[in-house]
Structure 1
Amino acid sequence: MGDIKDDDENTIWEMSDEGCYVGLTHDHLNIQQAIDKVRSPAAGAIVLFAGTTRDNFGGKPVKELQYTSYNKLALRTMLAICKDILSKHGLKGISMIHRLGTVPIGEESILIAVSSPHRQAAWRAGEEALEACKSRVEVWKREEFEGEEGVWRANRDGAMGQKMDS
């Protein structure tokens, strides 16, 4: 398993291992960097998922989201997920970067990029990586609502029995 790199200057915690890259940061997420982490001459497809903060949840106006994590454990879980998905789908690369701290409306909280020889494997792997991240990674979110108390939730949609889009 890769070593944890803690870069205080850019506030990023990251790990990587043979085609897999994971990171946690308080900074804005960089879509091009996520894609570049998985780029391969053997890949005919790169699929990118960008999860953004929406302005509502369950009919309530959301002001922003706040994310916190148990960094070392979250990185290890993210890397294990990526290694499993890379192998299962025959990927050339996979990256998973999650933002921490305050994420305003319209900004990205997670980027998942996958590359594979063919597009169908990339689509499936990206969806599977997102679902595994939401259900297993040690990241928690607080939804801040306009005019009322915020709510801590597990980092997955549908908490409290509601199924929501991405």
Structure 2
Amino acid sequence: MSTQTSIFQNGAISPEFIAKCITELQSQIRVGGHDIFLGQVRADEKEGKKVGAIVYTAYEEMANKKAHEIAEKAVADHGLSSLQIYHSLGEVKAGEICLFVFASAPHRKEVFVGLNQAVEALKAELPVFGKEVWSDASSTWKVNQ
């Protein structure tokens, strides 16, 4: 993983931030492949209501520690050059990016498998919680799928 200390960004993760991260890795000339996962807030529908946003909260210290463990395992298991993880805190509207995971490796096969391992572990183990805000202004805690 990079020297990143916190995975958290306030609000949505912007396309400009994602582009900046990609640009910074162009100097790593021993890397042959990059792979990116972008998690986006869906406008799910239920009982005639639509999700307009998700408000994310977390046990930040615990989540940062767990994210670093997940990244280190993916790097070690698949020979990745780096793995960066960014997750939103606060409100993220439907259509906006809430999770950005960026993996790099000397070869493409390793980067695909390593990124998938990390994303699945993050969804299952990261102590981050989302409250869905519905079109009628009600809210419910989200269950990860």
- TM-score normalised per structure 1: 0.75
With over 3 angstroms needed to count, the CA separation of the structure-2 counterparts of 1:88 and 1:20, relative to structure 1, is farther
The CA RMSD measured in Å over matched residues stands at 2.0
Q: 2:120 aligns with which of 127, 131, 150?
A: 131
Structure 2 equivalent of residue 49 of structure 1? 37
Contact kept, 8 Å, 1:95 with 1:114, in 2: the verdict is yes
Match of 1:151, SS state, is: strand
Match of 2:142, SS state, is: strand
Q: 1:34 aligns with which of 8, 17, 21?
A: 21
| Matching residue's letter, 2:7 | G
Q: 1:73 aligns with which of 43, 50, 62?
A: 62
- What is the identity percentage for the equivalent residue pairs of Structure 1 and Structure 2? 24
Instruction: Pick 1 or 2: higher relative contact order, CA cutoff 8 A, min separation 6.
Output: 2
Structure 2 equivalent of residue 24 of structure 1? 8
Tell me the number of residue pairs that the alignment of Structure 1 and Structure 2 aligns.
Answer: 139
| Matching residue's letter, 1:131 | E
Structure 1 equivalent of residue 104 of structure 2? 115
Match of 2:7, SS state, is: strand
Structure 2 equivalent of residue 149 of structure 1? 138
Q: Which runs of 5+ in 1 are unaligned?
A: 1-17, 158-166
Match of 1:140, SS state, is: strand
Contact kept, 8 Å, 2:11 with 2:91, in 1: the verdict is no
Between structures 1 and 2, the one with greater helix share: 2
